[in-house]
Amino acid sequence: MSKEFSLQHIIRKPKTEIAKAPVLILLHGYGSDENDLFSFAEELPDELFIISAKAPYSMQPYGNAWYAIHWDNNDGKFSDDVQAITSRETIKDFIDEIIYNYPVDADNINLLGFSQGSILSYSVALSYPEKVKNVIALSGYVNEGILKKDYASNDFSKLKFYCSHGSVDQVIPVDWARKSKPFLDALNIENSYSEFPVGHGVAPQNFYEFREWLKQRI
């Protein structure tokens, strides 16, 4: 009997027959949807079972978000951490549902997030490292306010991160992203950090670099 899914999603099954496929879960950014990052799917390794999830909060007139961003003229912008934590738990449940419903390798769950999806990828993996093998965190940062309180005592020995950012990102300051490497280093988590001369987006050379990184680790 199949479980209901917590998140709407689209899939690309492995192009090669494989009994237990490695999984790549795509988590899009604020105001986008499940079709956005899915454009990467055709160019990613054939053996991957690719699942692109749709964030739970609908926006007007279109698009979705993992959590609200409140715009305040005095303080700039700040995220709704309560909603973000709810989404963190939803993604954790979604991983379990994927394992239950699809012919995938429960020990080879990988996350690829952009912007808000990247921030959530950090949060899920650092809060529940037993569930995630590799994380590709594009144009995001670590929001410590949405990590589980006791996260630092987790076993991170099997977790790896690829982090990247645009050096002229006008949405999420590059200074925020640069903190990810020392943060992950302090937890003894294997990680790499790259910058590319672009704004809030993924440069072609960024794509080729993270694709190669992932190929070597799945």
Which tens digit of pLDDT belongs to each residue from 124-180? 999 999 999 999 999 999 999 999 999 999 999 999 999 999 999 999 999 999 999
Check whether 2 has a pLDDT greater than 80: no
Question: Where residue 77 falls among pLDDT bands split at 50, 70, 90?
Answer: low
Check whether 1 has a pLDDT greater than 70: no
Q: What is the mean pLDDT of the segment spanning 10-16?
A: 95
Whether residue 61 has a cis bond before it, omega within 30° of 0: yes
Q: What is the mean pLDDT of the segment spanning 39-67?
A: 95
Q: Which domains does the chain have, with CATH numbers?
A: 9-215 (3.40.50.1820)
Which tens digit of pLDDT belongs to each residue from 176-192? 999 999 999 999 999 99
Which tens digit of pLDDT belongs to each residue from 92-138? 999 999 999 999 999 999 999 999 999 999 999 999 999 999 999 99
Check whether 74 has a pLDDT greater than 60: no
- Output 99 or 16, whichever has higher pLDDT: 99
pTM for this prediction: 0.96
Question: Where residue 45 falls among pLDDT bands split at 50, 70, 90?
Answer: very high
Check whether 70 has a pLDDT greater than 90: no
